[in-house]
Amino acid sequence: MKRDVCGMGIKEYSYVSLSKKISIIIISIIGCSMLITSTIPVYASTTNYNYAPYFTATGSNFVSIPDKQELRLTTNFTVSAWFKTTMNNNSQVAIIVNKGGFGADGSNVVDMNYGIWLTGSNQGVIGKVQAGFEDANGRDYFVTSPNTYNDGQWHYVVLTYDGSTLRLYVDGSLVSSLSTNGAVPDYNWDTPLTIGKNSLDNSRYFIGDIDEVRVYNRALNAQEVSDAFSKGIFTTDRLITYVSMPILLNNQDYYFDVLEAIKQAKSKIHIHVYQVEYTSDTTKRPRILLDELVNAKNRGVDVRISFSDTSLNLTDLKTFLNNKGIPYKIHDSHAKVVVIDDKVVYIGSSNWRTSSLQYNNENNLKSNNIDHINKAKTYIDKIWYENKTVNYTDDNLQGNYYSEVFLTGGYYDSVKNALDNAKNRVRLIMKWWKNYTTDPNDTASELTRALANAYKRGVDVKVIIDDTVPQSVRDYLKSQGIPTKLDPSSSQSTHAKSILIDNRVYIGSHNWNGGEKSTWETGIALINLEIQDEYQRYFDTLWNNSSRIISP
């Protein structure tokens, strides 16, 4: 099934897709993600909100971002978020986002550095938007909306402070302001930036949906606030934190999402993709992406691309790029990274080949995480300017709900440690797997043994492999009794390299082929309930559709 959608030249295809939220059969320009279905869905909205997926706060979960100096705000800042709730029986405030939190007031105790919340019944009326800060002596500087917003609709709230006046905006309009006589927020504490509850302790939980949390170290003006709400134009000038839920994308999702992002790009498209296919057929997906890069370059966008010399029709590809004036470089990095406008990064397994973009089983992640974007930019710049890559080894995943890290050479240690400590489940999808050996220095075999040890401990382990996986690995998995299947079809490659270990998901370009410590790979490790569920459903669909059993 295929047809033109919304007159945008985008086709609707039937395929297995990846998200749990679904509404109507159109493509969303911003924030589209998918469910296991036969249509291309979007997130229906009757408001200006169009940035799904979002964080659903249940009253016990939350997002916590560790303290760092730039998050400690003083005399100029902006905090903003979209929210939706129907809370109507909370006695205390319900916190959307805050740093510092509510506790004892006074000197030498933690005070509210900044925050946005909804009022509770102990303040007389439930559901008003309130925001502000406390100074080092515990004095409150709060602004409150005259109206309530617990109506089950999406609302956009912005708190700004310019050193003398607090301003509260809701849905693009100024609703309250307060002169502070130059008060300085209490910023001398290492509390995390917390979304969905009190930063200081497990209290004042929010129930509802939250998305697009931004923190700036300057006060946005009224026009910038209005543009964000009414036009979806969000300034990045002095933006220090941006929290938005990542999206898991398969091959189809990835192609359509990247295509639209390129069409909408305003300033920059920087890419490293291991294999890029050139074809003279302008209806093929790799060529459509290349032609859109040309269109972006012609409207003034800074476009550059690097790829390996294993790219398909390499000579013709280089000729095409030269003729179109698009800068390119050759580098053997196996990574697949796309950064657009310094606002979004795509990382995963998809090459820019017809097979990857249309037929293969692929896993990719779309993220607006500033740390990921900055690390991806550095990674691509190192390739471009120095012919090198960057070693990211930090595996500082924290908490049980939401945390993310960008990995290159740190992949092996992170996955090995997660397997060694696995308690509940492992779901592995792997394209390339090195021959199994007993060599203790062989990283791929070490991971394979760690997988087997987890299974022996009673962990629920299942593995899906591609036909390329060698017999020695198949024999070992079978000898250990690990439930293993080949992907559903020998004619459709499973090119994904992804794994779910308890509450951790790894998405990227890392195969288990001896290059697990290589900085020529990129991936994201994350703790995210929505991504876990989406990945589990995707895995289950492949598993249930496959009758090609290896073990037991």
Q: Where are the domains of the chain?
A: 1-47, 55-242, 245-390, 394-551
Please give the angle made by the CA atoms of 358, 512 and 444, to the nearest 5 degrees: 170
The architecture in CATH of the region 245-390 reads 2-Layer Sandwich (3.30)
Give the C-alpha separation, 85 to 157, whole Å. 13
From 361, 381, 449, 370, select the one nearest 406 (Cα to Cα): 370
pTM: 0.74
CA angle 170, 171, 172 (to 5 degrees): 90
What is the chain's alpha carbon radius of gyration, rounded to the nearest angstrom?
24
- Given a cut of 50, is residue 139 above it in pLDDT? yes
Cα-based distances in Å from 369 to 73, 137, 182: 20, 34, 33
User: Is 110 or 27 the better-scoring residue by pLDDT?
Assistant: 110
- pLDDT band at residue 429 under the 50/70/90 scheme: very high
Q: CB-based contacts of 43: which residues, under 8 Å, 6+ apart?
A: 21, 23, 28, 31, 32, 50, 52, 53
pLDDT attached to residue 26: 22
DSSP reduced 3-state for 292: helix
Identify the pLDDT of residue 528: 83
* Collapsed DSSP state (helix, strand, coil) of residue 1: coil
Q: Which of the two residues, 288 and 19, has the higher pLDDT score?
A: 288
Mean predicted confidence (pLDDT) in 439-466: 97
Distance CA 298, CA 291 (A): 11
Largest CA distance in the chain: 74
Mean pLDDT of 3-21: 30
Which pLDDT score, from 0 to 100, does residue 400 have? 57
**Topology of the domain comprising 55-242:** Jelly Rolls (2.60.120)
The bridge status of strand 77-84 relative to strand 155-161 is antiparallel
Question: What is the C-alpha to C-alpha distance for residues 463 and 121, in angstroms, rounded to an integer?
Answer: 51
The least confident of 26-40, 227-241, 244-258, 346-360 is 26-40
The yes-or-no answer to whether 245-390 and 394-551 have a common fold is yes
What pLDDT was estimated at residue 401? Answer: 59
Is the pLDDT score of 38 beyond 50?
A: no
Asked if the model's pLDDT at residue 8 lies above 70, the reply is: no
pLDDT at 4: 28
In this structure, what token pair is assigned to residue 424?
Answer: 């509940």
**Residue 230 near residue 48, CB atoms below 8 Å:** yes
* Predicted pLDDT of residue 65: 82
Amino acid in the structure at residue 266:
K
Phi, psi (deg, nearest 5) at residue 406: -95, 130
Residue 549 burial (10 A CB sphere; 0-12, 13-18, 19+): exposed
**Positive or negative CA dihedral for 424, 551, 514, 449?**
positive
Q: Residue 290: is its pLDDT beyond 90?
A: yes
Q: Which of 180, 165, 178, 173 is nearest to 149 (CA)?
A: 173
**Token reading at 326:** 């698009």
SS3 344: strand
Task: Please provide the average confidence, as pLDDT, over all residues in the chain.
Answer: 88
Which whole number is the average pLDDT over 53-72?
86
Query: For 350-377, how does the pLDDT look when each residue is reduced to its tens digit (9 = 90+)?
Result: 999 999 999 999 999 999 888 889 999 9
Report whether pLDDT(336) > 90. yes
Q: Does domain 394-551 have CATH number 3.40.50.2300?
A: no
Q: How far is CA 337 from CA 245, 268, 323, 395, 523, in A?
A: 18, 14, 24, 20, 9
Task: Give the orientation angle of helix 471-479 with respect to helix 443-456, to 10 degrees.
Answer: 20
Position 74 pLDDT exceeds 50: yes
Cβ–Cβ under 8 Å, residues 525 and 548: no
- Of the two residues 75 and 154, the one the predictor is more confident about is 154
Q: How far is CA 358 from CA 28, 292, 380, 493, in A?
A: 19, 17, 25, 11
Closest to 251 in 3D by CA, of 332, 369, 353, 367: 353
pLDDT, residue 34, reads: 25
> Could you give the CA distance from residue 313 to residue 316 in angstroms, rounded to a whole number?
6
518 Cα distance to chain centroid: 23
